[in-house]
Chain A
């Protein structure tokens, strides 16, 4: 979200009675520690966005700086009508939704497994977290070269033992190949959030339900899922925020080829390789609008979690 949600931090006091100078001084003293961080954030994140917004209304190719002129909504029109750019909008949605849903479902199953006591639970948890801790570029390289390679990749190597076919994964199903690697990286994150949710359930309530003869399935549907709802939402929204912005996997595994270019990759390519500054900015603004839609929802969820925490305190 952008400057529009900026809180009026140093809003003038709305009290009717004027306060003595010493009180006002003290009020500023309590606010002062906030200022460096606030000013820094506004300078480094909000100002560039405003600049992007301005550039998005110009026809500006950096190879022809003299031809720069105001273009109104032309760039936006082009982003939304250009087949390749429109496809990248669609790819972004597909990639984000598929990865978030798949990793959320897998993460939920894993969290339910890990919520039980069994021998070596700590070790299994550590094994499961590991994919999330591999540097994203390294993880993408691992999938591209070590797992997907049609000749000596591990996937086809294992298929060799069962006598299955030996497909060229990245060429045949490029988007799915990118998605699978991201699901592998993000499932642990979802699992950790949902595990925290499971472990914060009211044990007495569960015990009472069990004594009353509720089955495991009934307990899951009527007690666990409603309790997990906000954790599921939180995981989905935080996952979306990061995956909408994904660059590393697309850049590394397919270099944006074969119909896998998402918006962040397209923005990168449009200005870094095609030098179309105005067009890239318009695409960037569209990413922001998409993020605002997610974020508005996200803030609502997070603030509901947050309110509960405050009321508990």
Chain B
């Protein structure tokens, strides 16, 4: 008996048993998403059963309903608004953050850590701290329900993270190479395109993905500042908050479709995601 116990403990120490535990944990955490995916392919009648049905026939009705086949509001305007807000703000972030990160890493200005910490500190200012004045400003300037206002706000939300991330990516470009290129007579645009860009590009791509994800996910600004015209995908989703029973498959289909861009972007940038979210502090 005791020899079996010892052997089992030995096996655990080798990791096979703990590997199993890890698998179990992974499945438990993923189960809600898997269940949501399965439910989205069920008919509404099969989706709302107790006990749950694992073998019900699959159908695309939930997705058809979501895309407005049943006469409900079409999600396309909201999806397009989200895409515009996320892509445009990400581009604006790049436009502002790249020069700043360049100044902070390749040709560091004096007191550059102070500047970095200022950017970081703005991230710690809660959104609600400025929400009311922004709302009043928008109302008085006829900017309510305008997607470009969201673009500006999302840019301010992501700019600090982008500056931090890109600063750490650009810092990986060896200054010696830049100096060598300059000695060889290369001008700044050439150096940027030929020397800096190839090294920094993966980091810039990861930064863009993270900015995209945050903009796509944002609810509070969008909820307060948009209405009919500029409604974004998360705001569209809030329409399902009180939906009861009948629309379970549709709710699941909607949640999955709207999460899809983020899931795709997130899986693509798994490693950089942590580094970005921890503001470059963890490598």
Interface residues of A (CB under 8 A from B): 1-2, 5-9, 11, 27, 30-34, 36-38, 40-41, 44-49, 51-52, 55, 109-110, 113-114, 116-121, 123-139, 141-147, 151-152, 154, 156-158, 160-161, 184, 187-189, 192-193, 196-197, 200, 216, 231, 234-235, 238, 241, 244-245, 247-248, 251-252, 255, 263-264, 267-268, 271-272, 277, 280-281, 283-285, 287-288, 291-292, 294-295, 298-299, 302-303, 305-306, 309, 313
- In the complex, which residues of chain A have a beta carbon less than 8 angstroms from the beta carbon of B219? 136-137, 247-248, 251
Kindly state whether residue B68 has any CB partner on chain A within 8 Å: no
Which residue on A lies nearest to B133, using beta carbons?
A51
A48 B129 Cβ-Cβ under 8 A: yes
- In the complex, which residues of chain B have a beta carbon less than 8 angstroms from the beta carbon of A136? 217, 219, 234
Kindly state whether residue B126 has any CB partner on chain A within 8 Å: yes
- In the complex, which residues of chain B have a beta carbon less than 8 angstroms from the beta carbon of A131? 29-30, 32-33
Cα A301 to Cα B169 with chains together (Å): 21
Kindly state whether residue B22 has any CB partner on chain A within 8 Å: yes
B282 A37 Cβ-Cβ under 8 A: no
The listed residue (A1, A40, A156) touching B121 by CB distance below 8 A is A1
B262 A135 Cβ-Cβ under 8 A: yes
Looking at chain B's contact residues, the main secondary structure is helix
- In the complex, which residues of chain B have a beta carbon less than 8 angstroms from the beta carbon of A152? 47-50, 52, 245, 248
A146-B25 contact given A7-B117, A38-B115, A193-B274, CB 8 Å threshold:
no
Q: Besides A7-B115, A138-B234, A268-B131, 4 other CB < 8 A contacts? A: A41-B118, A129-B266, A141-B251, A160-B50
Cα A73 to Cα B256 with chains together (Å): 47
- The total of chain B residues at the interface (CB under 8 A) is 106
Top 9 nearest A-B pairs (CB, nearest first) are A118-B19, A48-B130, A7-B114, A33-B99, A138-B255, A51-B133, A1-B121, A133-B266, A44-B156
Give chain A nearest CB distance to B132 CB in angstroms. Answer: 5
Kindly state whether residue B183 has any CB partner on chain A within 8 Å: no
Residues of chain B in range 101-140 having any CB-CB distance to chain A below 8 Å: 102-104, 107, 109-111, 113-115, 117-137
A/B interface sample: 10 pairs, CB < 8 A: A1-B122, A34-B99, A113-B19, A139-B255, A151-B48, A156-B50, A193-B277, A196-B282, A234-B281, A283-B128
